[in-house]
């Protein structure tokens, strides 16, 4: 039996790959994987989510330099709510490719079980800063 890391690598999710955000969402749901998207390149390349969360956990999620895929997709849906299309169709029209920076195991705060974490960089992080 292959590991989760090997299985998702077979789907194109490996460090350095550009992966459609819809693929990451599907994998996160099907395999119970946490996906974190970073706005800041240096932080995203280190992808030390536990430390980043400890340093930025006091901020509202939308004000942090990173966001979970679920929170981002909720924000995306709210932002584009005026369009008469489901989010998946909007993402087909406005594709978002995430550069994968980490695929590793970790223990989420307050939990005892190890989970898989996928971290990636948002493609428009520099534009969002200006």
CA 27 to chain centroid, in Å, comes to: 11
Q: Are the C-beta atoms of residues 41 and 10 closer than 8 Å to each other?
A: no
pTM: 0.87
Please write the tens of the pLDDT for every residue from 61-90. Answer: 889 999 999 999 998 888 877 878 888 888
Half-sphere exposure of residue 104, counting CA atoms within 13 Å on the CB side?
13
Please write the tens of the pLDDT for every residue from 98-120. Answer: 999 999 999 888 889 999 999 99
End-to-end CA distance of the chain: 47
Would you say residue 1 has pLDDT above 50? Answer: no
Mean pLDDT of 11-25: 95
Specify the DSSP class assigned to residue 38. E
> How confident is the model at residue 44, as a pLDDT?
93
Q: What is each CA distance from 34 to 101, 107, 116, in whole angstroms? A: 14, 11, 6
């Amino acid at each position: 039996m292959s590991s989760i890391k090997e299985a998702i690598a077979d789907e194109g999710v490996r460090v350095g790959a550009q992966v459609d955000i819809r693929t990451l969402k599907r994998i996160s749901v099907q395999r119970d994987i946490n996906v974190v998207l970073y706005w800041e390149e240096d932080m995203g390349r280190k992808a030390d989510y536990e430390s980043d969360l400890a340093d930025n956990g006091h901020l509202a999620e939308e004000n942090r330099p990173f966001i979970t895929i679920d929170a981002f997709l909720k924000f995306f849906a709210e932002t584009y709510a005026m369009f008469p299309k489901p989010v998946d169709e909007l993402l087909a029209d406005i594709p978002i490719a995430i550069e994968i920076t980490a695929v590793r195991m970790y223990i989420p705060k307050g939990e005892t079980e190890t989970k898989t974490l996928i971290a990636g960089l948002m493609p428009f992080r520099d534009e969002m800063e200006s």
